[in-house]
A and B are shown apart, each in its own frame.
Chain A
Amino acid sequence: MSLIGDLNSFSFADILQVLHTDKKSGVLIVEWDDMTVAYYIKEGEVVLARPVDKVFRVYADRDFAVLLTKLRLQDRALAETIKKFFLSRLDKRNGRFSFTQGFIKYPHDVPVFFSSEQLIMEAARHLTLEETERKISDELLIFEKMPDYEEKILKAKLTDKERKVLNLIDGRNTVKDIVEKSGLDKLTVYRTLYGLLSIGAIKRKKKPMKRRASISLDLLAKLIEKIKKL
């Protein structure tokens, strides 16, 4: 299965959300006009970013430990690659991405200098209001915290403003309420909600299902049988 798309419509926050939630391992390639970067992903965490002149070269190095030796990279330098080739490129939209799963062999002890939660939150801080409205599409939406949200928040390294937003998420406040009660600007609130949703710290509150008596169980059974026989 592929993960292919473009950054204009599917941001870094979105891509990392998919990779992190499913703990995928492999290589994410992003091709911009000025540069192509390979992001090495181990169990959903970005462990290395490196520019490549030709995409096929990425597939020549299948052993991550050997690759690091070849690139003469010490552990501490891995963090620098992420700063230089990930964090500094969050405002660049016109890139095509593709993720190839599983072909690279990672050692068990690859250090993670920036957690995915931290990178996703940082990516969310670069979204425009229009982009945040892709997930926060209605100011009447209500969010609630996930049971394990504290663990995720700890890794995400929230700012004081983001903590303020988090504290107002209680399963009752709407997005509009959070904007009003926090005194923060709409963009900051929307970016924070987008990031928290993407790292899985919060979720939309489920509305009770509307009960409908417009069909009986007998008629439904008949309908199921009809569909099966089509």
Chain B
Amino acid sequence: MSEEKQTKKIKIVISGPFAAGKTEFIKTVSEIEPVTTERKISHKEEKEKKATTTVAMDFGKIKIDNEHELYLFGTPGQARFNFMWEVLGEGALGVIVLVDSTDPTTFHEARRIINFFHSRYPIPMVIGANKQDLPNAWSPKDIAIALDISEDEGIPVIGLSAKNKEDVKKVLLALLEKIRENILEG
């Protein structure tokens, strides 16, 4: 049996609207070159934001020890690939929903994603308010209000730049802390 087959895989899902920075997030911390399923964008308005988009999933990997690996699965951002949320959500330990803090047009889509995971897979969740390094970024506090996240929902909204490794680590650690709380409560 190969070493690959013996390794236990732990899964975290990175979700969020189109161009929220999911692929970048995974690239920043993955120990392997992330496997991506990017395709050129044909839609004119979306093309103005970036040239390619994820159509099935991205994944990156972090080796924990000889027996365990953490897989970071990125969901596609375009609405027509939403069926992949269902596929990728199954068996996930937690989910990080990334939001482009400079683009309020995507906040409602982010809430839709939060609703989806809450109703189908109620697992620990953290919101990453990405692109905080850019001008016109909404603050994490304002984004929490815009996403209707009430305090007792227990979903932290954390500012970050997905290009910055320390920021990405901060968000991952916040999710792991939520997972720890969840285990202790159980």
Contacts and interface: CB of A to CB of B under 8 A. Distances in A.
Interface residues of B, number: 51
B176 interface: yes
B115 A17 contact: no
B121 A10 contact: no
Contacts of A204: 115, 118, 148, 150, 153
A227 B167 CA distance: 12
A206 B93 contact: no
Which DSSP category, helix, strand, loop or mixed, fits chain B's interface?
helix
Contacts of B91: 214
A138 interface: yes
Nearest to A1: B139
B57 to A, nearest CB: 20
Contact of B107 (A4, A10, A138): A10
B111 to A, nearest CB: 7
A228 interface: yes
Nearest to B29: A230
A18 B169 contact: no
A209 B182 contact: yes
Given A137-B111, A227-B173, 17 more contacts: A4-B104, A9-B105, A134-B111, A138-B115, A141-B115, A141-B119, A197-B148, A204-B115, A204-B148, A204-B150, A206-B153, A209-B185, A215-B183, A219-B68, A220-B176, A220-B179, A226-B64
